[in-house]
Amino acid sequence: MDIRVQLLKAHSKENANLIAEQVLQRPEDFKVLMDLFLGDDELLAQRAAWSIGMVGEYKPELILPHLPNLLPVLQNARHPALTRNIYRVLQKTDVPTEYQGLLFDLAIQEVTNPGRPPAIRVFAMTTALRIVTKVQELAPELQMVIEENMEHAPKAFLSRGRKTLKALELLI
């Protein structure tokens, strides 16, 4: 299957699953999918994001070689789908030490931004927690940020926030 052609056929969960299944069977196709995600075509990038998120649920290690190219996307994403699916994968990935500081800061920015979609905020929260398990001195900052943002947060944030605070209690 030509991934580019398939992405242009339809924007549906079924199509995203079809592409993700191919990439999972042929991991060498992940680079093709990632190139489309990082490319200049906004429509292809948005559609590729969904499949990348799905692939990352099963094989998050595929994203690590692309992390240097993904951090700028997190800093200046053209569409929330890009950010959401990067964090969806990163929340299940052991981030290399050299990227932990920047990624933690970016995740905290998302968690504290009430204008961002709840899915981005909760995926970023879990990504930050994953980093905190490796760099425990960041735990008080994450705890404070979550507590400060709980009052007027959507239900998804409240639920993930409570779980994250419990996990942080074990670390502090």
Whether residue 50 lies inside any domain: the answer is: yes
Q: Tell me the pLDDT tens digit for each residue of 70-114.
A: 999 999 978 999 999 999 999 999 999 999 999 999 999 999 999
For residue 106, give its domain range.
Answer: 94-172
Mean pLDDT of the chain: 95
Q: Is the pLDDT at 9 greater than 90, yes or no?
A: yes
The answer to the question of residue 46 being in a domain is yes
Q: Are residues 99 and 172 in the same domain?
A: yes
Do 120 and 170 belong together in one domain?
A: yes
Phi, psi of 95 (to 5 degrees): -75, 130
Per-residue pLDDT, 15: 96
Establish if 86 belongs to a structural domain: no
Q: Are residues 8 and 72 in the same domain?
A: yes
CATH of residue 48's domain is: 1.25.10
Torsion sign (Cα): 40, 45, 48, 53:
positive
In a domain, 100, yes or no: yes
Residue 112 and residue 70 share a domain: no
Question: SS3 for 10?
Answer: coil
12 DSSP assignment: S
72 with 131, same domain: the answer is: no
* Inside any domain, residue 89: no
Q: How many domains does the chain have?
A: 2
Whether 9 and 48 share a structural domain? yes
Read off the pLDDT of residues 133-157 as tens digits, 9 standing for 90 and up.
999 999 999 999 999 999 989 999 9
Collapse the DSSP code of 77 into the 3-class scheme (helix H, G, I; strand E, B; otherwise coil) and give the result. coil
Whether 122 and 156 have beta carbons less than 8 Å apart is answered as yes
The DSSP letter of residue 114 is T
